C-alpha cells in the first residue's frame, strides 16, 4: 500500500505554495487508495509553535484536505521525537560516520528543510581531519559543536516521478552535511529520513526545491538499512518577480485568502495552475480524483501572474 505524507513546518501561516503541494500530496495518495500521514516538522522551536501547527491543521480542514494518521498528536510532531532521533544519531556515530564540527559559521537553519538556493556549496570541512584527541580536547573545553556526517564520493540517483532522472555525487555536490546543530537540535535531513522510515512512508511528494535533498536522504536510508521511498517533486509557485513565495507575502497566506476566497475557488484555481483543469472552476479536492494523473501535472514552475 502506498503511504504518503504531508510534512509542513509550522513556521508561519500556510501560503499558496504550501497549499499547492498539499493538494498534490493528497491527490497522489487518495488516487492510489493509499494512507496519508500529516507530520508536523517543528524541530526549530524558535520559529515553529504549537499555535502555528494548530492553525495549519485548521487550514487543511478548511481546504477539505484530510489525512488518516498524525496531525497534532505528539508522536507525529518532530519536536517530541528527540529520543528517537538520538537513537538514530547513535547508530550513525557507532558506524564511525559522524564528527563534530567547530566551525563558527552559523548553521542556524539546519533544522529546517534547505529549500533551493539555501544550500551551502559543498566544501571539505577542516574538522573532518581532526584526530579523536583533538575532538575530545575541544569538546572538553566546552566549544559548541555541530555534528556532520561523512559522505562518500559516490553518485546517488533517483528516478523522480515528475522530473525524471536526477543524481548527485555526494562528496562533490553536497559535502558532509549537518545532522545535528550545535544547540543540540537534530537537523531536517536526519529527522526526515528517520521519520519516513519509522512511519512506513514509501512515497514522498513535495516541492521541487527539495529535489537536491533526495540523494542524501536516499543515501541515509541505505546506510541505516531502510528501503528509500519513491519521490515525486512538484513545480513551485513563484512570486511575480520569479522568486520563491515567502511566508512574508502575507496577501498569499491563508490568513488573507480565507477572507477573499472560498476553499473550492482556491482548490479549483490551484488545480488549473497545476494543469489538472482546463479552467479555474471551483471544485473540491475529491472532484479532482477521477481524472488525476501525474502525466497531466506540469513540470515548469508557475508564476503567480498566471493566477485567475
Binding-site ranges for ligand GLU (CB under 6 A): 7-9, 41, 113, 192, 206, 210
Rounded CA separation 148/99 (Å): 5
CB of 130 to ligand GLU, least distance (A): 31
Q: Which is nearer to ligand GLU, 138 or 221 (CB)?
A: 221
Q: What is the nearest approach in angstroms of ligand GLU to the Cβ of residue 262?
A: 25
> Minimal CA–CA distance to 190: which of 293, 269, 81?
81
Strand partners, 5: 37, 204
Q: Determine whether 259 is exposed, middle or buried from the number of CB atoms within 10 Å of its CB (0-12, 13-18, 19+).
A: exposed
Residue placing its CB nearer to ligand GLU in the complex, 212 or 284: 212
Name 233's bridge partners.
Answer: 206
In angstroms, give the least distance from the CB of 39 to ligand GLU: 8
Residue 105 Cβ vs ligand GLU, minimum distance, rounded to whole Å: 22
Nearer residue to ligand GLU within complex by CB, 9 or 277? 9
User: Cβ of residue 56: shortest distance to ligand GLU, in angstroms?
Assistant: 10
Nearer to ligand GLU by Cβ, of 92 and 245: the residue is: 245
CA-wise closest residue to 56 among 10, 107, 106: 10
Nearer to ligand GLU, 113 or 158 (CB): 113
Closest CA to 5 of 33, 43, 40, 44: 40
| Closest among 91, 10, 22 to 288, alpha carbons compared | 22
Beta bridge partner(s), residue 156:
168
Amino acid at each position: 500500500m502506498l503511504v504518503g505524507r504531508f510534512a509542513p513546518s509550522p513556521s508561519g501561516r500556510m501560503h499558496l505554495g504550501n497549499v499547492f503541494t498539499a493538494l498534490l500530496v493528497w491527490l497522489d495518495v487518495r488516487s492510489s487508495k493509499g494512507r496519508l500521514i500529516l507530520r508536523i516538522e517543528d524541530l526549530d522551536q524558535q520559529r515553529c509553535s504549537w499555535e502555528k501547527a494548530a492553525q495549519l491543521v485548521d487550514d487543511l480542514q478548511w481546504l477539505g484536505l484530510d489525512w488518516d494518521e498524525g496531525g497534532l498528536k505528539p508522536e507525529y510532531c518532530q519536536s517530541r521525537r528527540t529520543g528517537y532521533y538520538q537513537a538514530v544519531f547513535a547508530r550513525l556515530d557507532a558506524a564511525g560516520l559522524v564528527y563534530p564540527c567547530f566551525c563558527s559559521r552559523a548553521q542556524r537553519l539546519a533544522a529546517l528543510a534547505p529549500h533551493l538556493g539555501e544550500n551551502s556549496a559543498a566544501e571539505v570541512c577542516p574538522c573532518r581531519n581532526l584526530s579523536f584527541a583533538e575532538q575530545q580536547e575541544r569538546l572538553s573545553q566546552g566549544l559548541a559543536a555541530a555534528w556532520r556526517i561523512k559522505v562518500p564520493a559516490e553518485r546517488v540517483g533517483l528516478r523522480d516521478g515528475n522530473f525524471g532522472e536526477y543524481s548527485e555525487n555526494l562528496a562533490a555536490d553536497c559535502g558532509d552535511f549537518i545532522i545535528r546543530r550545535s544547540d543540540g537540535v537534530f537537523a531536517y535531513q536526519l529527522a526526515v529520513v528517520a521519520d519516513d522510515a519509522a512511519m512506513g512512508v514509501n512515497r514522498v511528494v513535495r516541492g521541487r526545491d527539495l529535489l537536491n535533498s533526495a540523494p542524501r536522504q536516499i543515501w541515509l536510508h541505505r546506510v541505516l538499512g531502510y528501503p528509500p521511498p519513491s519521490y515525486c517533486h512538484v513545480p513551485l509557485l513563484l512570486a511575480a518577480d520569479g522568486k520563491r513565495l515567502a511566508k512574508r507575502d502575507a496577501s498569499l497566506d491563508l490568513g488573507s485568502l480565507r477572507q477573499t476566497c472560498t476553499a473550492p475557488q482556491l482548490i479549483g484555481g490551484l488545480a488549473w495552475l497545476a494543469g489538472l483543469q482546463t479552467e479555474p472552476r471551483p471544485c473540491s479536492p475529491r472532484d479532482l480524483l477521477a481524472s488525476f494523473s501525474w502525466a497531466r501535472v506540469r513540470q515548469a514552475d508557475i508564476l503567480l501572474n498566471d493566477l485567475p
